[in-house]
Chain A
């Protein structure tokens, strides 16, 4: 029953994860794995506790969050505006689409060193990287989405006497909202990737900076602790994004 019933799926997953941690811990204690490379879960937990206990983590969390969330917001706004304009005004599409295609073709994190040179090692370069990662994804979501909008809905608005602005307001923008919300989790992931990689390349604070510091001091426990922390943070944001999506797309 418990092994097959879908209602107990979470319980099964938690049990499996707990077992995995136990085996990992035991392997560490019996020196089956080298703690220099793979520290035991208890050592990682202790590292995480220290980060919060002495309050060191807060300025770093604040820096990463600020960069990721500002980059996310700007990326969504600019991506939507460019996507809508390009889809509705073909001459603009001729200019914007090739640039976006080029940006999409390269691994955009390679721009991180350039942003550090242009904008310095403070917050701006991290925001810029998070922004560019998010804006390209949102642009293609919106641009492609609007071009595939249900023609029947468009004709419905036209036959009811709606203007071009009515079309944008009642058909295109709600469609865009649905597509953007559907891609919000991807965008959140990109925003945190941008912020962290930016900090990794050159920063004075942030989770990426701490990761870089842990790497340079061969502190694997700290690295694991930071990776775990980022996973938890992003999962919490995913949950919030999921709730927002469920509320705003309740008509689906």
Chain B
């Protein structure tokens, strides 16, 4: 599912609270799975620059008690699955933006999370690389049956990837104002999903509602 909303509505803060990087000011967060079963993909790939692609992927496995040798074997497996066979010994600096994003994805998926949090993970990629990475992510999370909570500003991305889209109102104290079910069947190719008959009407509705939220916020600001 995806979370969309105006800037400042607290989308990223919500993800950070779910994974424990930030404490909520009030209330509790119940993600429904153990903290060790949650993975997070950030907008920046945040790979350790002094470690090779392989060592970066193996890193998280080591934290979970996996022996070094086994962690490296698994790292190779995940890099291979993400089309990075032959790039295992490259440092992040020597990889393209799309390749770095795939390494970051391999790093998270290697831990076999049940819930994957994604905070605008594709925003820094150019259009073609972005489409290809999104396709890979969609097919992998479907195959591995991983629940995904995606935060994005991109409505097309939200609809093409999700079964459900939540619209947040303007913050502070944002709330969910609308919930949209995406009737595009699975398995689904996120690129082809954009030409599904239900895509355009849903996009238009989502766009109108989001515009209303932003306009409402601007009116409130003007009144102050």
Contact = CB atoms under 8 A, between A and B. Distances in A.
A155 interface: yes
Interface stretch (A80-88, A162-170, A235-243): A162-170
A131 to B, nearest CB: 28
B107 interface: yes
A152 B45 CA distance: 9
B19 interface: yes
Interface stretch (B58-66, B124-132, B154-162, B214-222): B58-66
B199 interface: no
Dominant secondary structure of chain A at its interface with chain B: helix
A252 B49 contact: yes
Contacts of A174: 48, 50
A51 B7 CA distance: 74
A163 B63 contact: yes
Contacts of A163: 63
A152 B91 contact: no
A234 interface: no
Interface residues of B, number: 25
A19 interface: no
B44 A160 contact: no
A29 interface: no
Contacts of B19: 159
A216 to B, nearest CB: 51
Contacts of B93: 251-252
A94 B37 CA distance: 39
Nearest to A159: B40
B39 interface: yes
Contacts of B44: 152
B180 interface: no
For B20, B44, B46, B107, which residue has the most chain A Cβ atoms within 10 angstroms?
B46
A153 B50 contact: no
B39 A171 contact: no
A149 to B, nearest CB: 11
Contacts of B42: 152, 155-156
With most chain B CB atoms within 10 A of its CB, the pick from A153, A160, A162, A174 is A160
Nearest to B92: A251
Nearest to A156: B46
Q: Shortest 8 CB-CB distances between A and B: which pairs? A: A160-B60, A156-B46, A161-B63, A152-B46, A251-B91, A159-B40, A174-B50, A251-B50
15 contacts: A150-B46, A155-B42, A155-B46, A156-B42, A158-B20, A160-B63, A160-B107, A161-B36, A161-B111, A163-B63, A174-B48, A250-B91, A251-B49, A251-B93, A252-B49
Interface of A: 150, 152-153, 155-163, 166, 170-171, 174, 178, 250-252
